[in-house]
Amino acid sequence: MRKTHQCLGMLLVVAACLSATAGHARLIRTKAPASSTPPAPQNAPLPELKAQSAPAEARLLDVYKLIGSGQTRQALLKAEALVKDVPNFQLAQLVYADLLTAQARPLPSMGHAPDDLAAKAPQRLDQLRMEADRRLQALRDRPPQGALPTQFIEVPPTTKHAIAVDASRSRLYLFENGPNGLQLVADHYASIGRLGADKSFEGDQRTPLGVYYITSRLDAKKLTDFYGIGALPLNYPNEYDRRLGKTGGGIWLHGVPSDSYARSPNSTDGCVVLANPELQTILDRVQPRTTPVVIAKSLQWVTPTKAELQRRSLHNLIEGWRVARASGDLNRLMSFYSPQFASGTRDLNQWRQTLEKEVTQQRGRALQLKDVAILGWKDKSDILVVTFGEVADGQRTGAVKRQYWGKEGGLWKIFFEGVI
């Protein structure tokens, strides 16, 4: 009985925020007929969304769709089952409270609760409204069928997965690499920094924007409960970040405490945070060192066919560097490097000496690049992050290197190169 009273009390409070979105409010208030349900985009049918989403979110979106079609009784039953199965899913509790209130009396507006109740948790209610907005946006705005984020220019078959985060939509997209290239296999709601994206310095409570790689996997047993079921650290700041003078660190993909299901959209110190069940699907799949993670303010999508011309052009650029490197023509090779080149403590002149030694040791043997990955980034300038294995003829393996290229005077130049 005590638990029931606690639940009802909580529902009265969260009812104050049941204007989660204008669309949500309109659907409940008018009890629209089935014909008024917004059509799904042709390139992404709703059943596909359900299959791609984590079970709890898919069930919540099912409730929203039932509300939209006027099936409020069925929506109530599904919402009741959801909050029973996932009691710490606060947004689901919010929707359930809305439906309960609607059963008792007509709602002149959503969240029509006494002011004293609404005032008890105004900030949290605003956060839940925003979370509802972001989750519903994922229902409405699906990526074009077969399209990829523009940053994934070339991803080799040995890279089994890739991740892209759209900060403006609080959404993480997981891609799997197969015979037909990268394919979107799942997408999840994600929380980012309290003050948004575009991290500049340590402690600014922002999530970095850029192209990164997962560096390791941290087991939950070695972490506090705050990080949930585990964590995947990223290589922020990368070499481009350092070039811009950005500071800070400790940017991870991680979960939530065991007593929570999800965090509000802007609630972290800079990390990207997912519900534990959703993070688990990522932990089970991705590999450190080879998995790229793109974090963009707003992802732009392009089909592989439309991106092919750019891919070939940049592949030829990297091939030109390889030919110069393999030929031993040092002057030609150095033409690919920026005057502002730096690798650790070495400037361009010192790097030239390093390359001269490597060319001498190579002794004219042909050089091949294996598993080439080309990732693009564009903000203040155009950037390429190129990763490859460098293998000389007669050898089975070689060093794995990463280069950062930037546009200078309209030409691509390498401003960092190093062994991973």
pLDDT number for residue 120: 66
pLDDT number for residue 260: 93
What is 225-266 written as a DSSP string? Answer: GGGTTEEEEB--S-HHHHHTT------EEE---TT-S---SE
pLDDT digits (tens, 9 = 90+) for 387-419: 999 998 878 888 999 999 999 999 999 999 999
Are the CB atoms for 53 and 187 separated by under 8 Å? yes
If one compares 99 and 31, the residue with the highest pLDDT of the two is 99
For strand 367-378 and strand 382-392, is the pairing parallel, antiparallel, or unpaired?
antiparallel
- pLDDT at position 59 over 70: yes
pLDDT average, residue stretch 205-212: 98
pLDDT number for residue 321: 97
**Range with the largest mean pLDDT of 39-48, 273-282, 393-402:** 273-282
Cα distance between residue 137 and residue 141, in whole Å: 6
Alpha helices by DSSP H, listed for 231-385, are 239-243, 276-283, 304-327, 330-334, 348-362
User: What token pair was written down for 139?
Assistant: 């229902």
pLDDT digits (tens, 9 = 90+) for 360-388: 888 778 899 999 999 999 998 999 999 99
pLDDT number for residue 386: 98
pLDDT number for residue 11: 36
How high does pLDDT run on average in the chain? Answer: 86
pLDDT digits (tens, 9 = 90+) for 147-191: 999 999 999 999 999 999 999 999 999 999 999 999 999 999 999
Which residues lie below 8 Å from residue 177, measured CB to CB, with a gap of 6+? Answer: 155, 157, 159, 160, 161, 162, 183
Task: Name the pTM for this structure.
Answer: 0.85
Cα distance between residue 349 and residue 334, in whole Å: 10
